[in-house]
């Protein structure tokens, strides 16, 4: 493998993981970020992101001299062979991806890029962005390549170093090969395509994952209607290799930093292109309606039928969009909390990942330091993130803290028999309270 000089612009989940892992593979990497305080912390090996192995890889890269952090983006790219753009592309007006950060950096680095270098879109971007970046750079001697990331929060390092596939797209096949060679030594299928194909792979993958989750939640509703257990049904269909069992699990809806913005962005692209894709719109609407339905279940069980939760205290376990991360972006737990708040509920919540970061959620809920503090005096307990430590709670003690013996397990995380022995009713998704595992 040829050692390359790599610049990474942006040190979020994708950028920091990309930089640290490429340094681990032997490349010399400079990561640039405009947040000077963040850069100083990273120079000291302090990683704010909750991601297994990432702090260790950052410190190893610093110690070896293969990894550095700077604030000057132009200086970072000045002698780079390959420049990765790992920038935020949030949902913009009307659902389209906001490419302001990508476009601003392209304009900033245009004249600083070395002749013959390659610029790589690592961020999730709409079809046509590689062409857009190439036009903004206006550098015929600089190739633009699409190399989408497929990193799951909580597994980002593992996914980078043990990928399911590596997708590289460009009109210039030599440039595509140069980017692919950065990953030499990793055992994964390589998909070489054009830039539009690579950009679509990322969007299509996230849409398909969202569709599977919406399917599981709709199926759970059907199971509740007929008194079937959704876990049994999903296990039964999951043995069919054409369907599989991965990512087919009911919950409080899908969210996070990728699926919501990417499905909306793809829908916007379809609408603007005149392509009818009804399944995509139905997937998004199913997610929204599912969360409303879960809230109605809580309202029905915690009020006298007037539809208001005014003055009703509810204890919430879990706020992060999934276990293993402190990320609150588009968290389904927060989406449900907001709907409950709109109905007048008084929310007290605990999440083990937020005990140190202490985000300001005071307009929505009271953040507790312990599960017991969140649940004391609550009319009901809601499990909204699948943290394994919630299984190990002293549920007999919890029963004594709650004002009413009801647990809404919207992750199907808990053992209903265990809670029943503690004197609690466990209401999951796609199963009735009488069902035991």
Which of 314, 156, 116, 294 has the alpha carbon at shortest distance from 221? 294
Kindly report the number of other CB atoms within 10 A of residue 418's CB atom.
Answer: 16
Which of 24, 306, 290, 313 has the alpha carbon at shortest distance from 158? 24
Using a 10 angstrom Cβ sphere, with 0-12 exposed, 13-18 middle and 19 or more buried, the burial of residue 84 is: buried
Phi first, then psi, for residue 425 (nearest 5°) are: -100, 125
Which of 251, 392, 276 has the alpha carbon at shortest distance from 333? 251
Burial per residue of 147-172, b for 16 or more beta-carbon CB atoms within 10 angstroms, e otherwise: bbbbbebbebbebbbebeebbbbbee
Phi first, then psi, for residue 93 (nearest 5°) are: -60, 130
Catalytic residues: 258
Asked if residue 256 lies in contact with residue 153, where contact means CB atoms within 8 angstroms, the answer is yes
Spatial separation of the C-alpha atoms in residues 313 and 315, rounded to whole Å: 7
């Amino acid at each position: 493998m040829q050692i390359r000089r790599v610049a990474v612009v942006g040190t979020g989940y994708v950028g920091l993981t990309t930089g640290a892992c490429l340094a681990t593979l032997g490349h010399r990497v400079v990561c640039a970020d405009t947040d000077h305080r963040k850069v100083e912390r990273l120079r000291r090996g302090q990683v704010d992101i909750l991601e297994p192995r990432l702090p260790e890889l950052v410190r190893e890269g610093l110690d070896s001299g293969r990894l550095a952090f700077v604030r000057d983006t132009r200086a970072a790219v000045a002698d780079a062979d390959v420049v990765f753009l790992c920038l935020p592309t949030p949902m913009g007006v009307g659902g389209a991806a906001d490419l302001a950060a990508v476009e601003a950096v392209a304009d900033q680095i245009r004249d600083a890029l070395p002749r013959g270098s390659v610029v790589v879109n690592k961020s999730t971007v709409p079809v046509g962005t590689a062409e857009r970046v190439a036009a903004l750079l206006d550098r015929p001697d600089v190739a633009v390549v699409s190399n989408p990331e497929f990193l799951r929060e909580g597994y980002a390092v593992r996914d980078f170093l043990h990928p399911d596939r590596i997708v590289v797209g460009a009109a210039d096949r030599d440039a595509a090969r140069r980017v692919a060679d950065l990953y030499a030594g990793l055992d994964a299928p390589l998909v070489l395509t054009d830039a539009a194909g690579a950009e679509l792979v990322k969007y299509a993958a996230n849409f398909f994952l969202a569709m599977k989750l919406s399917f599981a939640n709709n199926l759970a509703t059907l199971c509740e209607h007929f008194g079937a257990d959704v876990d049994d049904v999903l296990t039964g269909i999951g043995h069919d290799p054409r369907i599989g069992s991965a990512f087919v699990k009911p919950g409080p809806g899908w969210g996070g930093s990728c699926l919501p913005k990417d499905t909306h962005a793809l829908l916007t692209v379809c609408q603007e292109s005149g392509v009818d894709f009804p399944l995509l719109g139905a997937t998004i609407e199913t997610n929204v309606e599912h969360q409303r339905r879960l809230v109605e279940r809580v309202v029905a069980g915690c009020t006298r039928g007037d539809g208001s939760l005014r003055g009703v205290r509810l204890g919430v376990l879990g706020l992060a969009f999934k276990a293993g991360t402190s990320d609150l972006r588009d968290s389904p737990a927060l989406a449900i909390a907001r709907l409950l708040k709109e109905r007048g509920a008084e929310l007290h919540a605990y999440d083990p990942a937020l005990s140190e970061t202490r985000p300001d959620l005071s307009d929505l809920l009271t953040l507790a330091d312990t599960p017991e503090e969140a649940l004391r005096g609550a009319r009901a307990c809601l499990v909204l993130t699948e943290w394994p430590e919630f299984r190990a709670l002293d549920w007999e003690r919890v029963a004594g803290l709650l004002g009413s013996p009801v647990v809404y397990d919207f992750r199907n995380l808990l053992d209903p028999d265990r809670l029943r022995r503690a004197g609690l009713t466990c209401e999951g998704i796609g199963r009735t309270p009488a069902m035991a595992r």
